[in-house]
Amino acid sequence: MQTIRLKREKRPYEINEELKLLRTNLLFCGADKHVFLMTSAFSGEGKSTVSSDLCLSFAELGKNVILIDADLRKSVRKHKIIGNVPEYGLSHYLSGQCELNDVICQTDVDQLYMVIASAVPPNPTELLASENMQRLISFCREHFDYIVVDCPPIGLVVDPAIIAPLCDGTMILIESNEVKYRLAQECVAKMKAAGCPILGVILNKVSEKKFGRYYTKYYGKKYYKSYYAHTENT
């Protein structure tokens, strides 16, 4: 098993608190919820960052957790690794170029594991719909407490809907003041049609002016560059 080192940023107190709240809300979604799909409307909304931080938060509880980077089209995960990127990734496994054990990487964080997307294939949708993807999720269910699947934006491609039936619940991340209400509803409708329960919506990059008076009063913060709102039922 390969070992990778992760680039980590120190998060402000208020972001850590919101992240813990998100983790708690997911835990209260039910004992049968172990595989979480993360998607967004567009790229650049912070989906991959929240996915990573959520996995770190689960690991802090002493849970075995794995992050599956299923964005085979435009993954940013390799830029968050210190040193050499793993030789094999998800696209290699799904296309039959390596074995499952070749793509599961241990990180320098206790109890946190990752599968990196790696090379960009010419047929990402077909690979994600393959039996190998089903085998990967089944294997992870047996060996990990929680699985977070970081998918491409549902507002741009169909890939999340392909993976959704393999997961226990979906989280849709929306950037504040950037995504129109109608588009957000379309994203929700697409994931509902895929047959995967929607656990909630995560509102990211929220201005403290509107939502952070508590922290302004007690910690002097003026704005949050990132903000993890608790999940809201759709």
The yes-or-no verdict on residue 205 having pLDDT over 80 is: no
Asked if residue 234 is part of any domain, the answer here is: no
Report the alpha-carbon distance of residue 154 to residue 113 in Å, rounded.
25
Tell the residue number behind the tokens 């090379």, with chain if given: 119
Asked if residue 228 is part of any domain, the answer here is: no
β-strand partners of 3? 106
| Six-digit token string for 176 | 């504040």
Report the alpha-carbon distance of residue 90 to residue 82 in Å, rounded.
19
Asked if residue 232 is part of any domain, the answer here is: no
Asked if residue 233 is part of any domain, the answer here is: no
Asked if residue 227 is part of any domain, the answer here is: no
* pLDDT tens by residue, 11-58: 778 788 888 888 998 998 889 999 999 999 888 888 888 999 999 999
Asked if residue 224 is part of any domain, the answer here is: no
- Percent residues over pLDDT 90 in the chain: 51
- Percent residues over pLDDT 70 in the chain: 88
Instruction: Give the strand order in the sheet containing 65-69.
Output: 81-82, 3-6, 105-107, 112-115, 65-69, 146-150, 35-40, 169-175, 198-204
The yes-or-no verdict on residue 229 having pLDDT over 70 is: no
Asked if residue 144 is part of any domain, the answer here is: yes
Our count of domains for the chain comes to 1
N residues, the chain: 234
Asked if residue 22 is part of any domain, the answer here is: yes
What is the pLDDT at residue 35?
A: 97
Q: Please name which of 192, 193, 190, 150 lies closest in space to residue 173, comparing C-alpha atoms.
A: 150
* Residue-range definition of the domain harbouring residue 21: 3-219
Query: 195-206 burial, b for 16+ CB within 10 Å, e for fewer?
Result: ebebbbbbbbbb
For residue 19, give the CATH number of its domain: 3.40.50.300
* pLDDT tens by residue, 158-192: 999 999 999 999 999 988 777 888 888 898 899 99
Q: Please name which of 46, 61, 80 lies closest in space to residue 227, comparing C-alpha atoms.
A: 46
Q: Is there a contact between 29 and 199 (Cβ–Cβ < 8 Å)?
A: yes
Enter the DSSP assignment of 232. Answer: B
